[in-house]
Structure 1
Amino acid sequence: MTALETLYASGGKSDVAIIPTLELSCPAWAESIYICQGFDDITAKTEAGLTRKFVAAGIDVALPKRDNSGNQALTFAIDNVTGIAQQLIDQALDARAKIGMVFRVYVSNDLNALAEAPYRMTVLGGTMEGSTVHLQAGYFDLINLAWPRRKYTLDFAPCLRYI
């Protein structure tokens, strides 16, 4: 049973909070961005055991359904008070690079371990409305999936050498 399931089963404690976090990364950026929901910055360990500082921001996360429909998208909004999000999105668009995202959940009384397994996704699209950035990310990128999945190369099909 995960820490999050234990918290839900106990009815929730008034002194314990669930803290959703986002890690955004892109090859066009100098470093990854770590954001947490709330008013206070936190320092927490990732699943790899690395200690990272998550900057507090106004984020809202809508989790997807857990099924095999192919439309498993996570929608999130980040308040863009300083305009940094717009600059980073422009850098990613100019470099034509994909933005990766990791969604992690922590419990406030134990920041050394994740409350549940992280979601690893690719940002699929987004919009900007005023000072808020709305992005959609998915863990199964059906649109960019190659067909056929197996590439016919000389390693896979050596007989192609004679055609």
Structure 2
Amino acid sequence: MSLVLSRIYNSAPTDDAQLVLMQLSCSAWAAPIRLAVSGRDEVVTLPGGEIATFQWSGLSVNLPDQQASGSGDLSFSIGGVTATALQAIDDVIAADEAVTATLYIYTHLYRAAPQKAPLTLELTSIIADDTSIQCVAQMRDVINSRYPKLRYTPDNTPGLKYYG
């Protein structure tokens, strides 16, 4: 975490605040969907140097818990959905492609780079109706995954039953 973000969390200055931005990407779409938790459009510089505009929206984000298991769910909802958003969901379903959500944390004063490393997760659940969209994105459980993926047993490595 940056010193700027640490100052915001610890001292709550009146001149600066956290700015939460989300980018939804899918190969079925011509361009990513960029949304801001803000009352206006926000222009920032992405980590690759691209200047991007994030549209104001009814986005609300619940960050994943920081737990010992290594997995967590990022849930978010988008209010005030239009027919264009519902068409984008239909395009994803028709193309059978994955959607990734990238969460950026900037501040209102410092927009040249994210103040935290961007968090990119894959959407696992989308529920849409005429007024809102609720999504859940999940990161992989690295801590509880088996390594190496290939388990050495007498079935796939017969020489092991004579060892030891």
TM-score (norm 1): 0.81
CA distance, structure 2, for counterparts of residue 78 and residue 141 of structure 1: 26
Cα–Cα, structure 1 residues 55 and 29, in superposed 2: closer, same or farther, change >3 Å? same
1:134 matches 2:134:
yes
Residues 11-36 of structure 1 show CA distances to partners (whole Å, capped at 9, x for unaligned) of 21122121111000001101111111
Cα RMSD (Å): 2.4
> Which residues of 2 match residues 8-19 of structure 1 at below 5 A?
8-9=9-10, 11-19=11-19
Q: Give me the whole-angstrom Cα distance separating, in 1, the residues matched to 2:108 and 2:91.
A: 34
CA distance in 1: counterparts of 2:112 and 2:83, whole angstroms: 31
Residue type of the alignment partner of 2:95: A
Instruction: Using the aligned pairs only, state the percent identity.
Output: 25
Deviation at 1:70, TM superposition (A): 5.2
1:70-100 CA-to-partner distances (Å, cap 9, x unmatched) read: 5411000011432222111110000000001
Structure 2-normalised TM-score?
A: 0.81
| Conservation of the 8 A alpha-carbon contact between 2:99 and 2:123 | yes
Note the 1:1-163 alignment, pairs <5 A: 1-9=2-10, 11-69=11-69, 71-140=71-140, 149=149
Question: Mind listing any 5+ residue stretches in structure 2 that lack a counterpart?
Answer: 151-164
1:69 Cα deviation after fit: 2.1
Deviates more, 1:35-44 or 1:63-72: 63-72
Does the CA contact (< 8 Å) of 2:101 and 2:120 recur in 1?
A: yes
CA distance in 2, matches of 1:28, 1:148: 33
Shift of 1:6: 2.1
* Matching residue's letter, 1:55: Q
Whichever of the two has the greater Rg, that structure is 2
The number of equivalent residue pairs is 149
